A = this chain, B = another copy of it.
Amino acid sequence: MSDSATIQKQSIETSNAIVDRAGVNPFRDALVDAGLLIPTGVQGLFGRSGQFERVVDGLDALITRLGADQNAEVLRFPPAMSRTEFERSEYLKGFPQLAGTVHSFCGGEHEQQRVLQCLERGEDWTEHQKPTYVVLTPAACYPVYPVIAQRGHLPEEGRIVDAFSYCFRHEPSLDPTRMQLFRMREYIRLGTAEQIQAFRSEWIERGTRMIDMLELPNSIDLANDPFFGRGGKIVARSQREQNLKFELLIPIESEDRLTACLSFNYHMDHFGLLWGIKTQDGGVAHTGCVGFGLERLTLGLFRHHGFDIEKWPQKVRDALWGNA
């Protein structure tokens, strides 16, 4: 899930409403004061309180119930993926600045002494950190495609996969709706173009119904990913012209600023071609996904219903935690 619509809307306002003065973000400060988010000293990296997690768990369960008829295969991956598959994904063409590669110390005892000396002197100690075969997951669906590709042709009805993962994006920010590490739940559809488009229409409707149940103001808008660089602007325009990405937007930080909380994506044959995913008749599979940003939805609920969960509207509480 990405949020270029948000970025575009943000860029207009960066200098006033959102950041009152250097280093201060009122909504973030209020969340921290209430103990819902715990600062770590790194922008966009927070601990979460038990209350925050209760909301995340409730959202996760609600999404499971909304998708119960999808007969989705549950696949869960750690927050990292194979570097080889990451390289194949072409993520580095679109978003090199957001990716996080994992590096490890590969020296011996002599080099360790050097590391410890550098640390003591406050110097850069990372010289002996070398790239591993692991890259942080940029979106919950990325580890799924190579796994499905390995199983051979899709069945006639295609496949639906249910994924969930912490994801990493290197965009340090004071804005609590723009975390470096956040959780994304996804349903991923693989099949024919018609299957993907029907899936996406269905989930735009369901996603809207879900957010209505949570009594949050929302709107659907056409969007594009924040592709890197000047060339990226052309790709982004093309993505919009082809209606490939829709987002469900909720005002969170302020009333006049919208944050993408769900995204509804149609990748056409992009991932099918990259990983050689085939439909039953041997054609290149199309793919799409609906992504739920769990931190953003949680923040939206705290913004609109207050910091005390016990005082949330009963209908919202029922949607999250059932009537029991």
Partner-contacting stretch, out of A47-55, A201-209, A269-277: A47-55
Asked if A236 is at the interface of the complex by the 8 Å CB criterion, the answer is no
Instruction: Scan residues 111-165 of chain A and give those whose CB is less than 8 A from a CB of chain B.
Output: 112, 115-116, 119, 124-126, 129, 131-134, 136, 143, 146-147, 162
Chain B residues with CB below 8 A from A131, complex form? 103, 124, 126, 129
Tell me the minimal C-beta distance from A45 to chain B in angstroms.
6
Chain B residues with CB below 8 A from A100, complex form? 102-104, 132, 134
- With A99-B105, A112-B228 as given contacts, are A133 and B81 in contact (CB-CB < 8 Å)? no
Q: Judging by beta carbons under 8 Å apart, are B147 and A38 in contact?
A: yes
Chain B residues with CB below 8 A from A87, complex form? 119, 125
Report how far A1 CA is from B97 CA in the complex, Å.
34
Asked if A74 is at the interface of the complex by the 8 Å CB criterion, the answer is yes
Number of copies: 2
Q: Judging by beta carbons under 8 Å apart, are A41 and B84 in contact?
A: yes
Q: Judging by beta carbons under 8 Å apart, are A102 and B147 in contact?
A: no
- With A76-B47, A79-B79, A80-B45 as given contacts, are A99 and B109 in contact (CB-CB < 8 Å)? no
Contacts A48-B75, A53-B76 given; 15 further ones with Cβ under 8 A?
A: A41-B82, A41-B146, A45-B78, A45-B80, A45-B134, A47-B147, A48-B76, A50-B73, A50-B75, A78-B182, A80-B180, A97-B105, A100-B104, A101-B104, A124-B131
Interface residues of chain A, those whose CB is within 8 Å of chain B, are 38, 40-42, 45-50, 52-53, 73-85, 87, 92-93, 96-109, 112, 115-116, 119, 124-126, 129, 131-134, 136, 143, 146-147, 162, 166, 168, 170, 172, 179-182, 228-231
What are 10 of the A-B contact pairs (CB < 8 Å)?
A40-B82, A42-B134, A47-B77, A48-B76, A79-B79, A101-B102, A103-B129, A124-B131, A132-B170, A166-B166
